[in-house]
Amino acid sequence: AGVHHVQRRDIVLKWELGEGAFGKVFLAECYNLLPEQEKMLVAVKALKEVTESARLDFHREAELLTVLQHEHIVKFYGVCTEGEPLIMVFEYMKHGDLNRFLRSHGPDAKILEQGQGQGEGQGQGQPRGQLTLSHMLQIATQVASGMVYLASLHFVHRDLATRNCLVGQDLVVKIGDFGMSRDIYSTDYYRVGGRTMLPIRWMPPESILYRKFTTESDIWSFGVVLWEIFTYGKQPWYQLSNTEAIECITQGRELERPRTCPSEVYAIMQSCWQREPQQRRPIKEIHSRLQALVKTPPVYLDILG
């Protein structure tokens, strides 16, 4: 694949958005990227340590991201490899990762509240207070849409979780690039051996037991993402340690229905959590079902809890 190259002098860093052991993500201005815009805001990921193996991973990821193009996959514009650090250029997703977004629009939001611009519309756009059922369904449908695309390419994600999705203007949600969250959200991973970090709380029994990752294991993870959305970003099995969570999942215990989750949506989660991978509902069907629910939201009586 032809990875696009950007010149160093066309990138002007503004400030840091996030940091991990691999490097940092900055907000930047980029010149001469698109024909219709002289300069535009972008997010750049700068690789801190450039060992030979990190360089190889970088180029492999860049080639992959060049191929993956979809309205619900974060847009990748190219790389800058003049000297160091190595840089990847992405579209800027104004609200950052989906997990933080969910928490900042949930019941424990006050601490996390980040100044939202004045005069921004509510309605279809970014909500000011807590997310409604309609917002949650819209978010879920968009993640599902990105997953339908990845499945159509037989691409197995292996780490689908809200921390790996990004939120832009007007509640646009996209699946992010790969391998950043292992640093920022390290408590979501269980370290096995030296370097391997597994997102066990999002993994089905066959991935935990046999390290088997497939389109069907991604469907299981999507069910957990739905659960995250309807709990405003809670960690699955937050009350359990990693070893207890492994025990629970492999024994077939299910996450409970979140308080704000209609039974129609919980039924979708449960269809993702069939022990037998082939019994899980195909992501295409899940997407259609969610789309139908967005159009005709279930009547939900909060007081029934």
Establish if 96 lies at the interface with ligand 31Y (CB under 6 A).
yes
Q: Which of 74, 133, 144, 245 binds ligand 31Y (CB under 6 A)?
A: 74
Task: Compute CA 95 distance to the chain's CA centroid, rounded to the nearest angstrom.
Answer: 12
Q: Which of 3, 10, 17, 85 binds ligand 31Y (CB under 6 A)?
A: 17
| Range 154-173, binding ligand 31Y (CB under 6 A) | 164, 166
Instruction: Return the C-alpha torsion angle 179, 183, 185, 187, nearest 10.
Output: 120
Q: Which stretch binds ligand 31Y (CB under 6 A): 17-25, 63-71, 107-115, 214-222?
A: 17-25
Q: How far apart are CA 210 and CA 227, in angstroms?
A: 24
Min. distance of Cβ 177 from ligand 31Y in angstroms? 5
Q: In this chain, which of 11, 23, 33, 45 binds ligand 31Y, going by CB under 6 A? A: 45
Question: Which one of the listed residues 159, 177, 188, 218 is annotated catalytic?
Answer: 159
- Structure tokens that stand for 221 in this block: 């993870």
What is the CA angle 34-35-40, rounded to 5? Answer: 40
The C-alpha atoms of residue 214 and residue 51 are separated, in whole angstroms, by 30
- Asked if 184 interacts with ligand 31Y (CB under 6 A), we say yes
**Which residue's CB is nearer to ligand 31Y, number 145 or number 260?**
145
Angle, CA of 162, 278 and 238, to the nearest 5°: 30
Read off the tokens for 155. Answer: 């691409």
**Distance separating alpha carbons of residues 190 and 36, to the nearest angstrom:** 45
Amino acid present at 254: E
Residue 90 binds ligand 31Y (CB under 6 A):
yes
Q: Which of residues 99-158 bind ligand 31Y (CB under 6 A)?
A: 100
Q: Is 180 a binder of ligand 31Y (CB under 6 A)?
A: yes
- Token pair, residue 249, equals 């999942």
How many CB atoms are located within 10 Å of the residue 250 CB?
16
In the residue annotation, 159 being an active-site residue is answered as yes
- Residues in contact with ligand 31Y by CB under 6 A are 17-18, 25, 43, 45, 74, 90, 92-93, 96-97, 100, 164, 166, 176-177, 180-181, 184
Supply the residues annotated as catalytic.
159
